[in-house]
């Protein structure tokens, strides 16, 4: 195969921007900085800088593809099967995922599996582009070895992702179910062999490709390819293999990449910057080029539109009132990226004459374009402008205004920010819960309950339902408290006995002995060593107003068990034991036990408890047992 004639310029923008932005050496430099001072830099806080970088680079990189496909009428017609029909299919799948967690999970799995291949394919395509621009002889078997290096890197990544010990992706609660990554679960015995074999083949293919490319060529001719191979290794091969085998390299970005979101996000930013670098060069050859600033602004508006405009739509009550939380953010990320992958795979083909003319030979790849209707263009850009405004609003409200309100403990201001974001589907349950905690600490229980309820609606979690139940109970909203605790219990919380105990307390105070006793038994069954639940069950069995529900002998056994399990008996436990003795007709023991309880209460300075136990002591002296009357009436 004859060598390709080199382009007039071996670089697109020049050696420094091409190597840093296009070949990923900027990421390698950032990688080195974090190797030297990763914990210190993360300690300074990366949330705002990374969010700003996502807005400035990641969002526009999606818009750059939309410009390439939709801005010119000729391109819309050329890629109709992708610009119309494939897009319609993705939209349909998105709507299906909104209502079905399994569909959403399958889309998320497709996205996360395809994503490394999308990054890998871009690295490979740029490697071939640089070789051809330099006129490097690239026979088919040379090209196959280069391709094998990048392909095997992807296969290595995909094997680790789908192994039985795959890096975990945090599941998000979704309408009582989960939107999660669903790995194939390759058994460890098979995955171990696959990772080892593919890893060795990857190293061998990379070495062979390097040796072949150095034959008859200077290192400067293949330097961009070497940089891209290094980028591929830092992005995927190294961190995934390290995570799989549990190795510790001492290089924090590799050791922590799968566990710390910041590093994974920086890989995505590296890819986005690389994508903008090559697409802006291609767009420069367009007939209506108006500068890089204009291109970036249009890409930012287009990318913002696809990322934020679906959320106000699905936030409508008719659609389901969804927000970015409860798995919807993950689902939206999946469909936006899948759509991006489809379009990108269709339009960037170096064998396409127009693409090759620009990226390989630095020629003019665009012909004359027909003019779209002015009003239609204005309408489209007006919609994109709305998306851009919402993206800027989200960044300011969530990254600047909301954290400032939290720092200053201005809970009303923080709640108002979340209310505004809710109108456009950008509310989140964890942020609502944090505001609820603030209002609860400030004593505004009603507003705290509002935010806890909204948090539980967005992202149902047992801990939030528990907090809601607690503030409702403190306000004596008993029905609401019961509903919240039952919702928490239904989510299979880590400590279900806590909710059984809370529900039993309310039922006992309502006089519902059957429910109280059943729930205390359930709590004690889950925590048989608990003195509290043994004592509470003993009290309910001894003092229930329904005589048929009282079980004096079991009450005595449980109360004595609670007494004997403590180093020093408490006044409360002895109060229960005295009530149990009286219920069993053992009044002398009830009197002596109650007297000891009064002494302990008096020694602790609890005058109310002294008076309470004293009134029961009078009953026991007269040969009567204590029966608890309901203290909660109605709702």
Q: Read out DSSP for 254-277?
A: HHSTTT-HHHHHHHHHHHHHHHHH
Report the alpha-carbon distance of residue 213 to residue 562 in Å, rounded. 80
Neighbours of 605 (CB within 10 A): 8
pLDDT for residue 130: 94
Q: Where in the sequence of the chain do the CATH 1.25.40.10 domains occur?
A: 510-635
Secondary structure class of 623 (helix, strand, coil): coil
Tokens 């070497």 correspond to 226
pLDDT for residue 68: 87
Judge contact between 426 and 344, C-beta under 8 A.
no
Q: Which residues contact 602 (CB under 8 A, 6 or more apart)?
A: 610
Report the alpha-carbon distance of residue 132 to residue 128 in Å, rounded. 6
Query: What's the DSSP call for residue 511?
Result: T
Give the tokens for residue 423: 């109108």
Q: Is 285 left (phi over 0), alpha (psi -120 to 50) or beta?
A: alpha
pLDDT for residue 6: 60
pLDDT for residue 303: 95
Judge contact between 286 and 274, C-beta under 8 A.
no
Give the tokens for residue 563: 């007494």
Judge contact between 366 and 286, C-beta under 8 A.
yes
Report the alpha-carbon distance of residue 173 to residue 177 in Å, rounded. 6
Report the alpha-carbon distance of residue 180 to residue 172 in Å, rounded. 7
Half-sphere exposure of 46 (CA within 13 A, CB side): 17
Judge contact between 92 and 307, C-beta under 8 A.
no
* C-alpha to C-alpha distances, 376 to 73, 353, 379, 441, nearest whole angstrom: 12, 30, 5, 53
- Of 239, 276, 281, 278, whose CA–CA distance to 260 is shortest? 239
- Of 184, 59, 201, 209, whose CA–CA distance to 123 is shortest? 209
pLDDT for residue 75: 78
- Of 566, 565, 564, 595, whose CA–CA distance to 578 is shortest? 595
pLDDT for residue 318: 59
Neighbours of 287 (CB within 10 A): 10
Return the C-alpha torsion angle 99, 103, 105, 107, nearest 10.
-120
Report the alpha-carbon distance of residue 477 to residue 471 in Å, rounded. 9
pLDDT for residue 271: 96
Ranges of residues in the chain whose predicted pLDDT is under 70: 1-8, 164-177, 258-259, 286-287, 316-322, 350-357, 359-373, 633-635
pLDDT for residue 174: 35
Report the alpha-carbon distance of residue 435 to residue 433 in Å, rounded. 5
| Interior angle at CA 280, CA 276 and CA 285, nearest 5 | 160
Judge contact between 602 and 565, C-beta under 8 A.
no
pLDDT for residue 175: 40
Q: Which residues contact 72 (CB under 8 A, 6 or more apart)?
A: 369
> End-to-end distance of the chain based on CA atoms, in angstroms?
86
Return the C-alpha torsion angle 384, 388, 393, 394, nearest 10.
90
pTM for this predicted structure: 0.82
Neighbours of 530 (CB within 10 A): 17
Judge contact between 155 and 198, C-beta under 8 A.
yes
pLDDT for residue 466: 94
pLDDT for residue 165: 55
Q: Read out DSSP for 136-185?
A: ----HHHHHHHHHHHHHHHHHHHHHHTBTTPPP---EEETTEEE------
H helix count then E strand count, the chain: 32, 2
CATH code: domain 510-635 is 1.25.40.10
Distance of CA 514 to the CA centre of its chain: 42
Report the alpha-carbon distance of residue 71 to residue 83 in Å, rounded. 11
Give the tokens for residue 461: 């979690």
Report the alpha-carbon distance of residue 46 to residue 39 in Å, rounded. 11
Report the alpha-carbon distance of residue 520 to residue 493 in Å, rounded. 17
Report the alpha-carbon distance of residue 29 to residue 48 in Å, rounded. 21
């Amino acid at each position: 195969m004859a060598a390709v004639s080199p382009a007039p310029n071996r670089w697109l923008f020049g050696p420094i921007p091409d190597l840093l932005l296009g070949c990923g050496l900027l990421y390698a430099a950032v990688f080195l900085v974090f190797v030297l001072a990763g914990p210190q830099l993360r300690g300074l806080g990366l949330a705002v800088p990374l969010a700003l970088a996502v807005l400035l680079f990641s969002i526009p990189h999606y818009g750059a593809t939309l410009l390439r496909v939709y801005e010119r009428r000729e391109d819309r017609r050329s890629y109709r099967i992708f610009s119309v029909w494939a897009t319609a299919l993705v939209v349909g799948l998105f709507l299906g995922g909104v209502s079905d967690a399994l569909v959403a999970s399958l889309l998320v799995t497709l996205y996360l599996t395809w994503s490394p291949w999308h990054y890998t394919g871009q690295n490979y395509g740029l490697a071939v582009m640089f070789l051809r621009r330099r006129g490097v002889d690239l026979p088919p078997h040379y090209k196959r070895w280069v391709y094998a290096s990048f392909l095997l890197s992807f296969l290595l990544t995909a094997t680790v992702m789908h192994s039985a010990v795959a890096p975990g992706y945090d599941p998000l609660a979704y309408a009582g179910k989960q939107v999660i990554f669903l790995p194939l679960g390759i058994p460890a015995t098979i995955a171990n062999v696959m990772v080892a074999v593919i890893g060795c083949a990857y190293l061998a293919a990379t070495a062979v490709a390097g040796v072949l490319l150095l034959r008859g060529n200077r290192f400067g001719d293949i330097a961009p390819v070497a940089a891209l191979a290094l980028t591929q290794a830092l992005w995927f091969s190294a961190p995934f293999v390290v995570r799989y085998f549990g190795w510790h390299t001492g290089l924090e970005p590799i050791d922590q990449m799968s566990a710390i979101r910041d590093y994974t996000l920086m890989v995505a930013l590296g890819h986005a910057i690389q994508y903008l670098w090559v697409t802006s060069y291609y767009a420069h050859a367009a007939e209506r080029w108006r500068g890089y600033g204009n291109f970036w602004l249009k890409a930012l508006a287009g990318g913002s539109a696809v990322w934020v405009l679906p959320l106000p739509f699905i936030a409508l009550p008719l659609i389901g009132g969804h927000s970015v939380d409860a798995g919807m953010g993950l689902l939206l990320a999946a469909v936006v990226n899948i759509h991006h992958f489809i379009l990108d795979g269709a339009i960037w083909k170096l064998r396409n004459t127009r693409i090759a003319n620009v990226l390989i030979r630095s020629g003019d790849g665009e012909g004359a374009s027909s003019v779209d209707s002015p009003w239609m263009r204005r309408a489209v850009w007006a919609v994109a402008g709305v998306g851009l405004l919402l993206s800027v609003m989200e960044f300011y409200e969530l990254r600047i205004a909301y954290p400032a309100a939290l720092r200053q403990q201005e809970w009303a201001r923080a709640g108002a920010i979340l209310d505004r974001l809710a109108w456009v589907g950008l509310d989140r349950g964890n942020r609502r819960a944090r505001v609820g905690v603030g209002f609860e600490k400030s004593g505004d229980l009603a507003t705290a309950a509002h935010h806890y309820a909204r948090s539980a609606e967005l992202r149902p979690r047992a801990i939030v339902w528990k907090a809601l139940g607690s503030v409702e109970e403190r306000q004596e909203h008993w029905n609401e408290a019961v509903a919240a605790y039952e919702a928490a219990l239904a989510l299979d919380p880590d400590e279900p006995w806590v909710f059984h105990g809370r529900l039993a307390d309310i039922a006992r105070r309502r006089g519902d002995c059957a429910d109280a006793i059943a729930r205390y038994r359930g709590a004690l069954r889950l925590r048989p060593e608990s003195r509290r639940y043994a004592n509470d069950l003993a009290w309910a069995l001894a003092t229930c107003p329904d005589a048929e529900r009282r079980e004096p002998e079991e009450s005595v056994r449980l109360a004595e068990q609670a007494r004997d399990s403590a180093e020093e008996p408490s006044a409360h436990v002895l109060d229960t034991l005295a009530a149990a003795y009286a219920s069993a007709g053992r009044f002398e023991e009830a009197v002596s036990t109650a007297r000891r309880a009064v002494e302990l209460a008096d020694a602790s300075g609890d005058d109310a408890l002294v008076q309470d136990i004293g009134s029961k002591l009078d009953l026991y002296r007269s040969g009567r047992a204590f029966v608890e009357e309901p203290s909660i009436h109605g709702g």
